[in-house]
Amino acid sequence: MPAPAVTRPAWDSQAAIYLHIPFCKTKCRYCSFNSHAGREEEIAGYLAALNTHIRRLAGHPWSRSHSFFSLYIGGGTPTICDPALLGQVIRNCLTAFSFCPEPEITVESNPNTLSPAKLQALRECGVNRLSIGVQSFSPAQLKSLGRSHTAEDAVLAFAMAREAGFANINLDLMYGLPGLTAEGWQQTLEQAVSLAPEHFSLYELMVEEKTPLAALVAGGKVRLPSEDEVADMEAVTSGLLAGRGYERYEISNYARPGFTCRHNINYWQNRSWLALGAGAVGSLSGMKVTNVADPLVYAQRMSSNQEPYSEMECLSRPAHFRETVIMGLRMLEGVSIRELEERFQLSPLTYYGDTLQALLAQGLVVLDDGFLRLSSQALPVANQVLAQLV
Ligand code: SF4
């Protein structure tokens, strides 16, 4: 007698795919991402390696037992690539893996790497979401960050994207920049809102070790805003965006109704995604897989039929559970206690015991209709609150 079919919940049978393009025109002063400037001659070979990786991973039993609802091409600057070659990678991916109907397909870009022809080529291969790294509309701020584009480039890029038919556009902006005031931030945000994108990712500038910015800060050549000034900028953000129809759904992300980012929600829910490309980190049912960071080494490994991984870590069930709680609390809806119990056979209420009770008593965490979430009072100090649940 055949075994009865086992129905797997959607969270166990669906996943996302991330492709990393580690090349940029220039290196921004604050950037610690795996991105390389001045290595454009490697791009074609690297994209060929990605195609090899796609073919290999698509045949893996894990991939064959999942369907995919999102493809996200990030960087670096993916739009630095020849659109025909990048389009081929995207098409290969969509053909090789089993995708759900109407997947979200996002490409990250920088304003001065877009053209009508490039945007049209992306639309033709199915890209339906564009993320533009604008960061600021202030010429002085863009210069201090070492960005290679101007505010005018950003406005033009946005107009070209609309003209090409992109109906789902995210703008990345940064606050807490050297010399930035709450008034200056409000001007940048007002200009961004006037373009009417569907989504905003708004991140505070972090000074990462070994970046040129870190050296400037350490040498006293650059002054960062104080904590109070940053808090004023955050107050400007929530006040301004809420009044213009954007809902905050994650600590740093805002969207118009219907335009939250499915790829990133999957990440914050700590579910599964495949990662292809140099330095990319995937998570397969709780196993973290990291690819070698250098694009040349990655390409060599692909062409010589070697594995691309530099590290694999299988999280214990409690470690995976804790990570899921912390990531999930970044979203304003919080985490579902029932879902956590279903996935991990652990309840946050018993697992965290007195620590969680204290956060509830202080009003920093709220238990509401089966969901645990950060209170509005906790959002400005989210990192300190989440650190107690690590
Ligand atoms: S464009 Fe992005 S990835 Fe490239 S150097 Fe600047 S911050 Fe880094």
- How does pLDDT run across 64-111, given as a tens digit for each residue? 999 999 999 999 999 999 999 999 999 999 999 999 999 999 999 999
Q: Report the nearest-CA residue for atom 5 of ligand 1.
A: 27
User: How many angstroms does the Cα of residue 1 sit away from the middle of ligand 1?
Assistant: 58
Same domain? 322 vs 234: no
Best of 77, 109, 210 to mutate for ligand 1, by most ligand atoms within 8 A of CB? 77
Same domain? 259 vs 321: no
Last residue of a domain, one of 247, 268, 289: 268
State the average pLDDT for the chain: 95
Last residue of a domain, one of 243, 268, 293: 268
Same domain? 189 vs 263: yes
Same domain? 139 vs 243: yes
Residue 275's contacts (CB-CB under 8 Å, 6 or more residues apart) are 17, 18, 20, 281, 282, 283, 289, 291
Same domain? 329 vs 185: no
Same domain? 258 vs 324: no
> Helices marked H in 60-150 — which ranges?
61-64, 83-96, 116-124, 139-145
Please report the atom of ligand 1 found closest to the CA of residue 37.
5
Using CB distances shorter than 6 Å, the residues near ligand 1 are 24, 27-28, 31, 33, 35, 75-77, 110, 133
- Domain that includes residue 382, residue range: 317-390
Distance from CA of residue 296 to its chain's centroid? 24
CA gap 50, 91 in Å, rounded = 12
CA gap 23, 27 in Å, rounded = 9
Residue 290: inside a domain: no
CATH number (domain holding residue 79):
3.20.20.70
- What the block records as the tokens of 373 is 């979430």
Please provide the size of the chain in residues.
Answer: 390
pLDDT of residue 8: 61
Residue 256: inside a domain: yes
The share of the chain scoring above pLDDT 90, in percent, equals: 95
Same domain? 171 vs 26: yes
On the question of pLDDT at 334 being above 70, the answer is yes
User: How many angstroms does the Cα of residue 221 sit away from the middle of ligand 1?
Assistant: 22
Best of 20, 23, 26, 28 to mutate for ligand 1, by most ligand atoms within 8 A of CB? 28
Question: How many domains does the chain fold into?
Answer: 2
Which of 219, 235, 238 has the alpha carbon at shortest distance from 227? 235
On the question of pLDDT at 129 being above 70, the answer is yes
Residue 375 vs residues 44, 127, 367: alpha-carbon distances, Å: 48, 36, 9
User: How many angstroms does the Cα of residue 387 sit away from the middle of ligand 1?
Assistant: 28
Same domain? 206 vs 352: no
Find out whether 173 and 189 touch, Cβ atoms under 8 Å.
yes
Same domain? 357 vs 264: no
- How does pLDDT run across 17-74, given as a tens digit for each residue? 999 999 999 999 999 999 999 999 999 999 999 999 999 999 999 999 999 999 999 9
Same domain? 333 vs 261: no
Residue 306: inside a domain: no
- How does pLDDT run across 204-225, given as a tens digit for each residue? 999 999 999 999 999 999 999 9
User: How many angstroms does the Cα of residue 113 sit away from the middle of ligand 1?
Assistant: 12
CA gap 9, 20 in Å, rounded = 28
Please report the atom of ligand 1 found closest to the CA of residue 26.
5
